[in-house]
Structure 1
């Protein structure tokens, strides 16, 4: 069984729709994993059942993004750049593809110091709820294999 966790964009996981914005979603997950030092898949927190994206969002809206940063880098990193990376990562994992920036915009945002847009609540879910939904509905996600021409 395939889970919707990991790097798969919600539109691809639920409907098999793929676009360049699917790659942006995956990049956002990877960026948040790097900053936190934790993997999205299999992430667990003692205070909630959210995945890594949900945890990042919760800390962001509570003004606690510093807590999201991996303890092994927090004292030696450029905090401005890392907090900016969290913001950009959250912009990349927006629920709807049209709300996500292009990769060109992501690169510009990461390389500049200008104001960033405030992300909306990302697409995230609890691992337990997703497993329950898959087992109770009997629906299995489809895997599409792409082949080069």
Structure 2
């Protein structure tokens, strides 16, 4: 999956009530292995239970898209993992169980591969966006791999 974020960090911050900080995002195409903003609950550096009675501040942070594969796949030339396909895998289980690793990925459109064209056999890119929302978010998890 590919996606676009044709909104600045400040525009995303205003739309979702997240503190943008010094995020330099100016908008555009997001590619695997590149930085793009995500919205977190502000607990990236805090382990353990959530503090009681204190709301967490949503903030935007630049994160790399993709997670390096497990060591067992590195020797086989494994590429960065872009989606969670097996939520029961030990590779993901800690990140999926702990809410501090959840985040929101802001986007203005995303692409999925469609069927092959009957004329030339090439797969088609199908882009999707929300007509009533110029910027939307997708649920995601992050892994401290940078």
TM-score bucket of the superposed structures, by smaller chain: under 0.3
Q: Structure 2-normalised TM-score?
A: 0.27
Q: Which has the higher contact order (CA 8 A, sep 6+)?
A: 1
Give the structure with the larger helix fraction. Answer: 1
Give the structure with the larger strand fraction. Answer: 2
Q: Structure 1-normalised TM-score?
A: 0.26
Structure having the higher Rg: 2
